[in-house]
Amino acid sequence: MREQVKRFAEGILYTDQYQLTMAQLYFRMGLHEKKAQFDYFFRSYPDYGSHSAGYCINAGLEWLMDWMAESRFGPAECEALRSQRSTSGKPVFAEDFLSWLCEYGNFESITLLAVPEGRVVHPNTPIGVVTGSLAMAQIMETALLNLMTYQTLIATKAARIRQSCQNQLLLEFGLRRAQERAAIAGTRAALIGGANFSSNVGTSHALGFAPKGTHAHSMVQVFLSMGGTELDAFRAYADLYPDGCILLVDTINTLESGVPNAIRVFEELKSKGHKPGGIRLDSGDLAFLAIHAAKQLNDAGFADVQIVLSNNLDELAIWQITTQIQQEAPRYGVSPEALIGRLSYGVGTGLITSRGDSALDGVYKLVALEEDGEWVPAMKISETPSKTLNPGNKRLWRVYDQRGHATADLIASHDEEVAGYDPLVLRHPSLVTMQRCLAKSEISAIEPLLEEAVIQGRQMIRPQEMEEMRARRREDLLKLDPGVRRMVNPHIYHVSLTQKLWDLKQNLIHQYKQD
């Protein structure tokens, strides 16, 4: 059953019913092949309750492009739609529409401009601009949002946890608690966002990463149940994995049993010429235990082995642990810097499910329709001014100040020479009194953020290497003001409109209110 559901549910029918009923309406009215443009953006940064993000890391694009290339209406899909009945028992979808779908129901008409993966992105900016036939561009909405928002959510969380970890190793351990098969995309997004490795074997292999892990409590339990000891368990494990061996020390008692036993095994390994890996702490007060474990390890001459921390970690928990270590370690004769410098972090649920905010509020809005070869901006006015659409065919730019810091993301009409403005006027998207003027001399660079990802169904950008995406994320984060990167109560990054786009938007609002 599961296989059958999967095959069917992941293709072109990975969409909402109303996309199909609307597509049929457009077909009936002869509008289905009219050129339309939709923007993909998200409305707000993830808000985790006690803390919130001041930036997001874009991810998911490659897998969206792959889905577009693989997904099309075929006989099975049309047959499924043919079986649908309205409340009066009549077919919901007519044969002529189904024939059209079977022939043209693919994404070969679609052009997609998109911000590359790994880049910092901000709310209410067009991260994806979809152009194509009204029917197919509409049908694409659901999958685009599904595939893009989750990976962006997780890459963002990973980048925040990476910040807390500073330069230490971050391991993604979330497969078991992930929202089912989201684990696969989630592992990829975590690696883009800042995890070094993952425990997820299949996904790691497929992405070219070595999967990582230690051992579980159950291994020690097996030895105990058979009349053996924790030391027996450690010895057996170290015997099989003598290089870089990491031992989980909290099955019985961390400081009285686990760490002393690990030290004995490390001494044995060392005498045989192996370099021990370290220990893992998975319960209790991780800061306290790390300090005291470090002290025992230091005293035994293992000042260089890793201490891996796991158990319910996220960016705040890690921040708290390192803060506590900075304050407390000196009291026990342990150098906080040295201790923090030997820590690694295994993060499960908190990362792979984006604990605190389980979804990015991505939306996909009609912004323009082609009439006689010209783009006519589409509008949607909301009683909440910040939700009123930025209309028309647009481009996205990043403006850097004289220090090389990103100072604003600027949304412009597609035909504007943004670099030519002096001064450059940055208008707040909805508040009339909020605007900035930047003289050309105050600007070090203006960078276009949208790339041609798909043109008429053809992928234009090659699959990015993971290392490229990671490098891009690191660079973009460095160019953010530290206040924007702040984990709690971050400074608000500026997202602005050009004067021209502002004028267009105001004119349309005026026009719609008059009608």
Residues 37-76 that bind its own copies (CB under 8 A): 38, 49, 62-63, 66-67, 70
User: Could you say whether residue 225 binds its own copies (CB under 8 A)?
Assistant: yes
* Amino acid at the residue 36: A
Q: Which is nearer to its own copies, 140 or 399 (CB)?
A: 140
- In the set 58, 131, 322, 354, which binds its own copies (CB under 8 A)? 354
Rounded Cα distance, 320 and 51, in Å: 13
In Å, how far are 133, 143, 157, 303, 312 from 58, measured between CA atoms?
26, 16, 11, 39, 25
**Phi and psi, residue 148, nearest 5°:** -85, -45
385 binds its own copies (CB under 8 A): no
Largest CA distance in the chain: 86
State yes or no: residue 219 binds its own copies (CB under 8 A). Answer: yes
Q: Which of 142, 151, 140 is nearest to 57 (CA)?
A: 151
Kindly tell me which residue out of 47, 91, 176, 458 binds its own copies, with binding defined by CB under 8 A.
176
Q: Pick the closest to residue 133 from 29, 28, 23, 18 (CA basis).
A: 23
**What does the per-residue mask of binding to its own copies show for 397-416, with x meaning CB under 8 A?**
--------------------
For its own copies, the binding residue among 41, 100, 234, 237 (CB under 8 A) is 237
Q: Is 485 in the site for its own copies (CB under 8 A)?
A: no
Figure out which of the listed residues 164, 251, 344, 388 binds its own copies, where binding follows CB under 8 A: 251
Q: With binding defined as CB under 8 A, does residue 359 bind its own copies?
A: yes
- Say whether residue 22 binds its own copies (CB under 8 A): yes
Phi-psi region for residue 370, left (φ > 0), alpha (ψ -120 to 50) or beta?
beta
Helix (H) or strand (E) holding 405: none
Residues 91-110 that bind its own copies (CB under 8 A): 92
Cβ partners under 8 Å of residue 321, min gap 6: 286, 287, 290, 309
End-to-end alpha-carbon separation of the chain, Å? 53
Q: Which residues contact 164 (CB under 8 A, 6 or more apart)?
A: 315, 316, 318, 319, 322, 487
Give yes or no for residue 182 binding its own copies (CB under 8 A).
yes
Instruction: Answer whether 470's CB lies under 8 Å from 34's CB.
Output: no
Residue 352 CA to residue 174 CA, distance in Å, equals: 5
- For the bound state, the minimum distance from the C-beta of residue 4 to its own copies, rounded and expressed in Å, comes to 6
Q: How far is the CB of 168 from its own copies (least distance, A)?
A: 17
Which of 51, 119, 162, 212 touches its own copies by CB under 8 A?
212
- Tell which positions 282-311 bind its own copies, by CB under 8 A: 283-284
Give the interface segment with its own copies, choosing from 23-31, 116-124, 329-337, 495-503 (CB under 8 A): 23-31
180 part of the interface to its own copies, by CB under 8 A: yes
Q: How far apart are CA 173 and CA 515, in angstroms?
A: 56
- 185 lies in the binding site for its own copies (CB under 8 A): yes
Q: Which is nearer to its own copies, 112 or 484 (CB)?
A: 112
- Site size toward its own copies, by CB under 8 A: 129
Out of 133, 196, 214, 322, name the contact with its own copies by CB under 8 A: 214
User: Binding of its own copies at residue 175 (CB under 8 A)?
Assistant: yes
Angstrom distance (rounded) from CA 219 to CA 251: 10
Is residue 470 a contact residue for its own copies (CB under 8 A)? no
| Euclidean distance between CA atoms 167 and 483, whole angstroms | 19
Q: Contact between 371 and its own copies (CB under 8 A)? A: yes
Q: Distance between CA 83 and CA 75 in Å, rounded?
A: 12
Does position 372 interact with its own copies (CB under 8 A)? The reply is: no
